[in-house]
Structure 1
């Protein structure tokens, strides 16, 4: 058998050309991967790999270690950004807390001061320096220009805020007065005659800076008498008043509030600052989220790779 393989290897074809004879091997034989002896190529009539005595399955090839570490994709970048962003938001809330605390202290100081008479003419640009300042004014209510803002909920009941222009005496300006809340069933003026004072009246309330409308509040429809938001500029232009907003106040008395509701008299707000200050909760929430996601990031990075992920079976004959 060995001599037969050697004779086949030396078999060649001689071809004559203009440059002489060229000897080319007729058959190129491979060597056995195990014993190193030459062996002939597979015949074309072999139907299965088992006909080859030197066939080796890829399942018998030993596994090769091709991966030892654990690589992370874009998810790891997102995971490291979350604690950083949450920490930044928590720090920002600390500055917001300081700003809100100083503003509340300033408003509380203004409320504790005695009320001031409202000047005949007021510069709208100066109202921000007198926000939450207690004032009083005398004039006549223009009930024919009354506006209802709603719906508004008070003690679980639906209703409206009554806004009435106050035409001041001695050729003073006309201002907008938020008289308070009434129930929905007393929407019509004919059902609350006791709540429509005639003649000169003196009101006391808080001088307020106009609010800013958010994107979720629908637009007012003054021509249809529908107001959803106290747009001071719009309401003042609709009634011919100055853009001055005063919220009438009253002493917080539950019995008195029930009597006013039954008589159709608007329930005014108490003279206090009603701004929310939840920045302390926000600080705790953001810092807690930052700490939790930082721990998750550390666990993902330090987690050892599993055996299945580390070893991949690979064959040179694949």
Structure 2
């Protein structure tokens, strides 16, 4: 019997690599690019925090009678002080806001400083939910002239998931500085009152419904180092996977001849 009488079976093995290889090759490139972008973001955020911390260590400045809203960004996190009377009749509560796992509100009160058009908005701090009504917290409503020391801050940016404020019903979910200033005939200036980090003092204020001010510190999130590690690790892992796929010998060559070994 000849080979003509017993021809070999021709079997197609298929392509060695498909479109999945292209996708696999794009993953490490994309991850490496995102990791490099996070390196730039880390440098930017570190310099920004250093700039704000430098402002915190300086002596507080008296708040001018009139402030240009466009210049506030140049004084963000600058310590200031202002003297006047709180307009408790125009108080606004922003909430719900959590503090140490407890529900409550931020108390926003205009500070009237005597001259016309010199009123500014002061974020006095957090109070528990049970003290929502002013009658329940007489100790937290000073009537005399007070001097407020705090941080001059840029207006907050609204989160896309935060509901819109309802000034008509006095329901505020985020501090819209321009809106609140118009409602209270104040300047669009936002001051966050500060206090020393004293746990006993904070407990006493919480029990009496006196707003707990924020500490004088920079509270910007800086997680870019974690993102850098994550993206570069993903780039390295997928690069190894890509190399293993490329170097792996194919199960068949493009065409394999299977011949009957019984022919003679």
- TM-score, reference length from structure 1: 0.76
> C-alpha distance in 2, partners of 1:271/1:310?
74
Instruction: Name the structure 2 match of 1:49.
Output: none
Q: Secondary structure at the match of 2:10?
A: coil
**Residues 92-125 of structure 1, C-alpha deviation per residue, up to 9 Å, x if partnerless?**
1111111111111110110100000000010000
Instruction: Name the structure 2 match of 1:155.
Output: 100
Instruction: Name the structure 2 match of 1:72.
Output: 18
Deviation at 1:170, TM superposition (A): 3.6
Q: Secondary structure at the match of 2:173?
A: coil
Instruction: Name the structure 2 match of 1:190.
Output: 135
Aligned residues between the structures: 255
Contact 2:10-2:255 within 8 A present in 1 as well: no
Larger radius of gyration: 1
> C-alpha distance in 2, partners of 1:128/1:106?
12
Superposition CA RMSD, Å: 2.0
Q: Does 1:84 align with 2:68?
A: no
Instruction: Name the structure 2 match of 1:111.
Output: 56
Deviation at 1:61, TM superposition (A): 5.9
Contact 2:15-2:254 within 8 A present in 1 as well: no
Deviation at 1:255, TM superposition (A): 0.2
**Residues 193-216 of structure 1, C-alpha deviation per residue, up to 9 Å, x if partnerless?**
110111211100000011211211
> C-alpha distance in 2, partners of 1:253/1:260?
11
> C-alpha distance in 1, partners of 2:67/2:40?
33
Select the residue among 251, 254, 257 that pairs with 2:199. 254
> C-alpha distance in 2, partners of 1:198/1:206?
22
Q: Does 1:179 align with 2:124?
A: yes
Q: Does 1:222 align with 2:150?
A: no
Select the residue among 200, 206, 217 that pairs with 2:151. 206
Contact 1:69-1:305 within 8 A present in 2 as well: no
Higher RCO structure, 1 or 2 (CA under 8 Å, sep 6+): 2
> C-alpha distance in 2, partners of 1:184/1:71?
62
